[in-house]
């Protein structure tokens, strides 16, 4: 085994140990992630990893347009998030453009948040559809009404997954 491979193997083991995990959490929570050196090393790693997988690039992407949610489900890590907000349109468009230029075909607009709380949801759907992407998202459906349903149909959203965590009223309300 070459020296670099050996170092990577040791680093991988250290990372997955309990102490390594704690150390990584410390780093990710600190200001270190905002330094130029960290960003340089981070993007170098992303580029290196992407190069290794050019033949198996994914066809879909998830964009967390918001981490704001009006629910507080017991199993969701959402309550532990420290910063809440909505993604600005400039960044959203850039990610969609990059995804299209990488050959992606679908976008899901959910990640630890309720997409239907986003006032820009329609504009985001239109932008992605105009770029040829299939659009989907998860929702707790609490904000679904006639006008929103019509908007989703009009814009030809491809797939909506409604999270209903129990068919039993009492259990559902507990969750
Ligand atoms: S609705 Fe979804 S995002 Fe919101 S708290 Fe429940 S599981 Fe989390």
Pick the atom of ligand 1 nearest to 112's CA.
3
Write 150-158 long-range contacts (CB < 8 A, 24+).
151/122, 152/125, 155/122, 155/125, 155/126, 155/129, 156/129, 157/125, 158/106, 158/134
Q: Which of 163, 166, 175 to mutate to test the pocket of ligand 1 (most atoms within 8 A of CB)?
A: 163
Q: What do you get for the CA distance between the two ends of the chain, in Å?
A: 51
* Cα distance between residue 68 and residue 140, in whole Å: 12
Rg (CA), the chain: 20
> Which architecture characterizes domain 57-175 according to CATH?
Alpha-Beta Barrel (3.20)
The model's pTM is 0.72
Q: Would you write out the chain's pLDDT as a tens digit for each of its 175 residues? A: 566 677 777 777 777 787 877 787 777 777 887 788 888 888 788 778 877 877 777 899 999 999 999 999 998 888 888 889 999 999 999 999 989 988 899 999 998 899 999 999 999 999 999 999 999 999 999 999 999 999 999 999 999 999 998 999 999 999 9
Q: pLDDT at position 2, please?
A: 67
Mutate to test the pocket of ligand 1, among 112, 115, 161, 162 (most ligand atoms within 8 A of CB): 112
Delimit the domains of the chain by residue range. 1-54, 57-175
> Taking phi first (over 0 means left), then psi (-120 to 50 degrees means alpha), and beta for anything else, what does residue 31 get?
alpha
Q: What is the pLDDT of residue 49?
A: 81
Q: How far, in Å, CA of 146 to CA of 31, rounded?
A: 45
């Amino acid at each position: 085994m070459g020296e670099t491979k050996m170092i990577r193997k040791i680093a991988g083991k250290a990372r997955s140990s309990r102490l390594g995990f704690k150390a990584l959490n410390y780093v990710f929570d600190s200001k270190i992630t905002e330094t130029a050196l960290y960003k340089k090393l981070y993007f170098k790693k992303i580029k290196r990893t992407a190069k290794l997988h050019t033949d198996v690039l994914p066809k879909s992407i998830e964009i967390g347009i918001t981490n704001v949610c009006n629910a507080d489900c017991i199993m969701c890590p959402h309550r532990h998030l420290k910063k809440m907000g909505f993604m600005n349109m400039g960044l959203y468009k850039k990610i969609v453009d990059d995804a299209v230029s990488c050959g992606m075909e679908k976008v899901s607009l959910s990640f630890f948040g309720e997409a239907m709380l986003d006032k820009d949801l329609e504009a985001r759907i239109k932008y992605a559809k105009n770029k040829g992407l299939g659009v989907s998202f998860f929702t707790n459906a609490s904000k679904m009404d006639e006008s929103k349903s019509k908007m989703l149909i009009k814009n030809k959203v491809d797939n909506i997954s409604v999270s209903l965590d129990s068919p039993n009223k009492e259990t559902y309300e507990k969750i």
